[in-house]
Structure 1
Amino acid sequence: MATITTVVPRTRRGVELVLLVFAVGIVLVAYANVGLAVDGELPPSMVSYGVGLIVLVGAVHLMLRWKASYADPVMLPIATLLNGLGLVMIHRLDLAEDRSGGGMAARQLIWMTIGVAICLAILYVIRDHRMLQRYTFTAMLVGLGLLLLPLVPGLGKNINGSRIWIGVGSLSFQPGELAKILLAIFFAGYLVQTRDSLALVGRKVLGISFPRARDLGPIIVAWLASLAVLIFERDLGSSLLFFGLFVAMLYVATERKSWIFIGFVLFVAGSYLAYLMFGHVQRRVLLWLHPFSQKALEVSDQLVRGLFGMADGGLLGTGLGRGHPDLTYYAESDFIVPSFGEEIGLVGVFALLLLYLIFVERGLRTALGVRDGYGKLLASGLAFTVALQCFVVVGGVTRVIPLTGLTMPFLSAGGSSLVANWAILGLLLRISDQARRPAPAIEPTNLGLDDAPTEVVKLR
């Protein structure tokens, strides 16, 4: 009798549940700390807030047990902790600015509910991520349509010099946040079909192997499209994110470093053209290089206020509820990182960045583990989107690069950003389920074994 021993990996849903309990516990402790520091008592809404958070993330956890039992056990707890801490800081700023009716924190909780609902829908409807490959060009058309939607007269809204919002009544939404997901789906489907031709070597210049001239078309089109977003919508952040996403996925598809070099050259050229052509880009460069100059302070002192806030926080911070992050404009959205830097210090900010690092690492691990090329490209693209957005935001508020106006994933106030990030989480969880799920069992006859009785022993 032949014996075949197979190792079935654990689902790790129990580990996920324990991490979720810790995440919710940390958020509730932070929420209580804000109430004690500001009002001298526990927040009256603490119980309802905790129950709401448990219900939302518990629903995703149960959906994973039901429909994606082998999904990554770490990403959901990290998203829960980041989203919860973001709500705590937004609530803290509501208290500082005397916003009645719950203010922005209540709206953020509503958007979180919508984002969780979309994450649940993705996990339930999309049983196999490869079905998205059928809609490659549909995703492209819808994604480009969403990018252009703010240019529609009467629908688009100009806020702070950028026309990236659409408004219906008192509600506003940034369609570019959803467009980046659809474009990642398009890039993955397109590159998995054309990566062989894009990987072919043309000429070698200074030791760098460049692709053939005929294959440069896609990156030129992506470059021109990102410039169009910058020109017509005055949105430096989305332009950088869109082009960076394509270059990163192109490198993953072809494994040719020359694409990174070409992308960098095009990025520098586009940035220089934008600096020469647009006054708002020149102002951002001025604020980046000389934020303390009189000329820069006449334009905006937002960056300076954020830097002073982080300096006041020092290594360990002033404590939640004990600083003055409300003195910085848009402290709950664009500048939420300096808000945390002031109240939880450099150590706390490093802890937040470590959470993002682990989240991106799990996304890239998913890309390495999944068995199909389309899934590898899509998972790496989605993970890189989160990584690039974090770099652009943190780099902007710390003067590593000019400010771009993007928001920190899961952390910042903003409904469109939060919904998009929960959708990204849903897609990564679905792909990770396929990556960690055991391969289908092989019949003994396919192994060339005898027709003798076979005993299969599963090790858990």
Structure 2
Amino acid sequence: MKNWGLMAAPLGIVLFGMSVLYLKMNPGGSKLTAEVLQGPLNYVPWLAAVILLALFIQAVIIKRREDTFLFPIVLTLCSVGIVEIARLKPALLVRQLQWLCVAMIVMILVLRFWGRIRRMLGYPYLLGVACIFLLGLPLLFGTEIGGSKNWLVLGPISIQPSEFGKILIVFFLAAYLSDHRRVLTLPAHRIFLLQLPPLRFIAPLICIWGMAVLMFVVEKDLGSALLFFGMAVLMTYMATGSKSYVFLALAFIGVAAAASYAAFGHVRVRFDIWLNPWQDPNGMAYQVVQSLFAFGTGGIWGTGFGYGHPGFIPEVHTDFIFAAIAEEMGLIATMMLMTCYVLFFWRGIKTALSCRKEKEVLLAAGCCSLMLLQAFIIIAGVTKFLPLTGITLPFISYGGSSMVSSFVLLGLLISLSKEQEHG
């Protein structure tokens, strides 16, 4: 019964949040559009579909004796995202619910065909080539949206290949590092204090690092670059336990960042905004400045749901949705969300430790680490801890590519948790 009780929290968040939006009559606040207020059937069928799919998936997870905590944690984050998008961009509410339905269906397919998906771990080089091909598509056919040329526009649908490339990179790293772990941990060359194997064994890792820098420079996609680079370093360290790779990676990214700052103007703009956004508060640094104002206004308890002014922040429903939550729900709500991501990571690591095969251990650890790292990068960006990035807050921000890819990772992690004893 407790497994089903976990589903009450996400449902309660949606019901109470939507009720507040309906009852709110403050003229100075955000108004829901007429389509949402006067025509609730526009989104109610899709919300009902989401609820039914969620109940079905939880039933399947319980029946298959898989981790029953991961899915409710994710639904809690999705519920906050649905309510926030209804508050910030009501016209996009139906679209977000539709993408959530698609993501859940894709997750069901992952659970159903996990046995075949697992075989991909036997082809590390093919995974690497597929990842490079996918990430290279925007360079040839990409469209610049929001300052980053990392989108493919297919009619009415915009797809971000890097969102699906991150899944392939986790598969590649899990397969490659597992196959070459012994060689990678046997030092053959000594460079100062670093002990490294022959170049041919670390060449694929250097290729991944170089690809991350290339995305940063050419596609102006700092978020994906940090995410891919961070995952390569994290999973390499998890597989080998060697600090030499960490130092080598930090030196590599340091040199590349310095060269990029000297050679490319948009890199200098991003870095200068991070150092001092107040030098151009109404120009290039406008988003960051308004985000900082939102955090300061919200304080501990927030202004109250529906009573802030998050609309001052451009693209608040995607990159800066965390700032909107902080303004209206305060520090308490943001800490709760960060706790959900940490709990997701904890359950993922518990799953990884229960796996029997080394490749599956690395795959599970990579999936949960990727989600936590992505959340950290975007939260650090909107709080000015790191330079501003263009990635989404997993399960909360608006976006179809992000939602589908995140649910694929969730499906992989739940599939890996089978036969695990839960406490």
Instruction: Give TM-score scaled by structure 2 length.
Output: 0.91
1:169-318 aligned within 5 A? 169-202=155-188, 208-214=193-199, 215-294=201-280, 297-318=282-303
Q: Which moved more, 1:37-46 or 1:381-390?
A: 37-46
Cα distance in 2 for residues equivalent to 1:422 and 1:339: 24
* Residue number among 28, 33, 58 corresponding to 2:20 in the alignment: 33
Task: Give 3-state SS (helix, strand or coil) of 1:234's partner.
Answer: coil
Q: Would the alpha carbon gap of residues 38 and 367 (structure 1) be closer, same or farther in structure 2, given more than 3 Å must change? A: farther
Cα distance in 2 for residues equivalent to 1:38 and 1:125: 48
Determine if contact 1:28/1:50 at 8 Å carries over to the other structure.
no
Determine if contact 1:323/1:343 at 8 Å carries over to the other structure.
yes
Q: Which has the larger radius of gyration?
A: 1
Determine if contact 1:236/1:404 at 8 Å carries over to the other structure.
yes
Say if 2:99 is the partner of 1:111. yes
CA RMSD of the aligned region, Å? 2.3
Cα distance in 2 for residues equivalent to 1:26 and 1:298: 36
Determine if contact 1:30/1:88 at 8 Å carries over to the other structure.
yes
Aligned amino acid, residue 15 of structure 1: K
Q: CA deviation at 1:128?
A: 7.0
Matched with 2:382 is 397
Task: Give 3-state SS (helix, strand or coil) of 2:48's partner.
Answer: helix
Q: Would the alpha carbon gap of residues 191 and 434 (structure 1) be closer, same or farther in structure 2, given more than 3 Å must change? A: farther
Cα distance in 1 for residues equivalent to 2:271 and 2:130: 33
Q: Which moved more, 1:332-341 or 1:42-51?
A: 42-51
Matched with 1:61 is 58
Q: Would the alpha carbon gap of residues 171 and 38 (structure 1) be closer, same or farther in structure 2, given more than 3 Å must change? A: farther
Q: CA deviation at 1:48?
A: 4.5
Say if 2:83 is the partner of 1:88. yes
Q: CA deviation at 1:231?
A: 2.7
Q: CA deviation at 1:291?
A: 0.7
Gaps of 5+ in 1: 1-13, 96-102, 438-459
Aligned amino acid, residue 52 of structure 1: A
Say if 2:5 is the partner of 1:18. yes
Say if 2:352 is the partner of 1:360. no
Q: CA deviation at 1:170?
A: 2.6
Q: Percent identity?
A: 33
Determine if contact 1:371/1:435 at 8 Å carries over to the other structure.
no
Instruction: Give TM-score scaled by structure 1 length.
Output: 0.84
Q: Which moved more, 1:231-240 or 1:395-404?
A: 231-240
Q: Which has the higher contact order (CA 8 A, sep 6+)?
A: 1
Q: CA deviation at 1:142?
A: 2.3
**Number of matched pairs:** 412
Determine if contact 1:16/1:73 at 8 Å carries over to the other structure.
yes
Cα distance in 2 for residues equivalent to 1:202 and 1:334: 44
Deviations 1:196-215 (A, max 9, x none): 00011246677x55223434
Determine if contact 1:173/1:416 at 8 Å carries over to the other structure.
yes
Determine if contact 1:129/1:430 at 8 Å carries over to the other structure.
no
Q: Would the alpha carbon gap of residues 298 and 21 (structure 1) be closer, same or farther in structure 2, given more than 3 Å must change? A: closer
Task: Give 3-state SS (helix, strand or coil) of 1:322's partner.
Answer: coil
Q: Would the alpha carbon gap of residues 224 and 50 (structure 1) be closer, same or farther in structure 2, given more than 3 Å must change? A: closer
Task: Give 3-state SS (helix, strand or coil) of 1:299's partner.
Answer: coil
